[in-house]
Chains A and B, each alone.
Chain A
Amino acid sequence: MRSWITDAPIDPTAVLDEVGSPADGAVLLFLGTVREENEGRAVSGMRYDAYVAMAEQVLGEIATEAAQQLGTERVAVVHRIGDLAIGDVSVALAVSAPHREPVFIAGRYLIEEIKRRLPVWKHEYYVEGESRWLAGTVPPGHA
């Protein structure tokens, strides 16, 4: 199991290499990428800010929970911070298990919990020149 925050470009193959085993017949890789449009506005790029020390801790907790659902320790998840361009990978996760059902469940759990709990924020830059912090989610139990 491995989880980390990085300010360097993410290599999906390296994330995939963290999981897999001769015992596994199912490997899932999910990538989140920066989209060229949001709410009808043309996006030029994105800056991710994070409370890095806490994000590393929370991402580790999420990975541990996902491993419990997966039934294996073969979980790898990374979130990028800093300045990203359209198409850049902002988050990558890989999981593997003997059969397919738990990899989809655990993969879905990882990305949904990242969105709910990881202390990371997006500043979106628009083609016409403006920028703004994107409205986020209040973590559960803190409304």
Chain B
Amino acid sequence: MRIRVLLFALYRDLAGGRSELQLDVRDGSDAGAAIAELRAQSERFALLPERPVVAVNREYAGLDAVLRDGDELALLPPVAGG
């Protein structure tokens, strides 16, 4: 299945400025497995943390959240609004 990965702020810079990409992962993968797949794709992506805070379809989620085809997985650096 294919998911959409979003990167923000520091993580976007680490990934060479990529803000969005499509990622093919095995059916039934959880968020943690998708991140492992992403980190294995290139030296730049390997700079991303193994266990970032994530959101699935715009809701905070755990790394054990099971993904579905077409899901939006966002990797969120520690937030700093205000």
Q: How far is the CB of A87 from chain B (nearest CB, A)?
A: 15
Q: Is the CB of A68 closer than 8 A to any CB of chain B?
A: no
Q: How far is the CB of A2 from chain B (nearest CB, A)?
A: 18
Query: Given that A51-B74, A133-B9, A138-B53 are contacting pairs, would A118 and B58 also be in contact in the complex, using a CB cutoff of 8 Å?
Result: no
Q: Which residue of A lies closest to B80 (CB)?
A: A136
Q: Which residue of B lies closest to A5 (CB)?
A: B81
Q: What's the count of A-B pairs with C-beta under 8 Å?
A: 83
Which stretch, A7-15, A20-28, A95-103, A120-128, touches the partner chain B?
A: A120-128
Q: Is the CB of B55 closer than 8 A to any CB of chain A?
A: yes
- Which of B10, B53, B78, B82 has a CB less than 8 Å from the CB of A32? B82
- A116 to B81 Cα, complex, angstroms: 8
Contact with B along A109-143 (1 / 0, CB 8 A): 00100111111111100000000011111110110
Q: Is the CB of A36 closer than 8 A to any CB of chain B?
A: no
Contacting residues, chain A, for B77 (C-beta < 8 A): 121, 133, 136
